[in-house]
Structure 1
């Protein structure tokens, strides 16, 4: 299992955990990637959290949605709605984003079904997030739970696949590179 740790600001507050404590948990679980997600804060707060995380963690640091903050981390993870908000043509949207963040930055995209995975195959991405695997209490806008179909759908991807949504450290997949775990790090630690 290769861990992609999801550092969600709402989870930190819910569990009353500091960034330092979070990074310690992620490191104890050998996280290769940490993604910082904050859906409510302004850009300056998110930037300050990325700067703080970078001081604490020297692995890959990804920011969720805010591609304008790419200079403060190693890459960006976007949802389908994020790229369609830039341009309805996904290839054009990704080109705009890649130009904005630079060719040396990691770019990931959420996918939810086989069609989106096949579309992602045509895009210059570093990885895709695929899910949700299970129901999760932390994400309210789940389009559908894939369950055991996730691994089969992952087999269609030409990119690395990060399983998202209710994933546990003990889950096993044949076609998934990373387990994206958020609250599960606290529940299982």
Structure 2
């Protein structure tokens, strides 16, 4: 079965007015293909509640819901996808638990990381950060536009076709430029959140 890997995904973040499920609903309403629920500092009950509600919105709009880090929550609610960092449960282990149908993405900072995540069976790889971002602690070295071009060149040379998603501090007007490097897609957070927040106050 051909998996539907989204080209644009929105990553939720803590916000004083908008819950994570609110952000998911607003993003889906704006036509965003996928939302990744990322609640690093929340308790299990809150994550489960927000993710379950966000999944209802995803089904309503025929979109994709990604759970960050937790294969347990992804399995419990029946999410479409899970995204795993380099230090989380490895993708091949997660695959044994979640099965072949779910989309599993992995994080990378270098070409070597991409090779590792590909060897583990990643359906896509989130490569970043593009620039400095305040939404993530313990940030890896900045990749930048030149870094993306070089890594895509290396992938083409090795005939590696894993979809690469740029992530980290991306502005809305930079999406097209980044896709022109040969990247498969982008993940956005803060830039889109400002837009979504403004709409709720109009």
Map of 1:143 onto structure 2: 140
Map of 2:151 onto structure 1: 153
State the 1:117 CA deviation. Answer: 1.3
Higher strand share: 1
1:178 matched to 2:182? The reply is no
Map of 2:126 onto structure 1: 129
Map of 2:92 onto structure 1: 95
Cα distance in 2 for residues equivalent to 1:77 and 1:19: 16
Paired residues, what number?
176
RMSD of the TM alignment (CA)?
A: 2.0
Cα distance in 1 for residues equivalent to 2:81 and 2:130: 24
State the 1:21 CA deviation. Answer: 4.1
Cα distance in 2 for residues equivalent to 1:165 and 1:134: 6
Q: Contact between 2:125 and 2:163, CA under 8 Å: does it hold in 1? A: yes
State the 1:20 CA deviation. Answer: 5.6
1:81 maps to which of 49, 72, 87: 87
Q: Contact between 2:25 and 2:54, CA under 8 Å: does it hold in 1? A: no
Give the unaligned 5+ runs of structure 2: 1-5, 197-202
Normalising by structure 2, we get a TM-score of 0.79
State the 1:44 CA deviation. Answer: 2.5
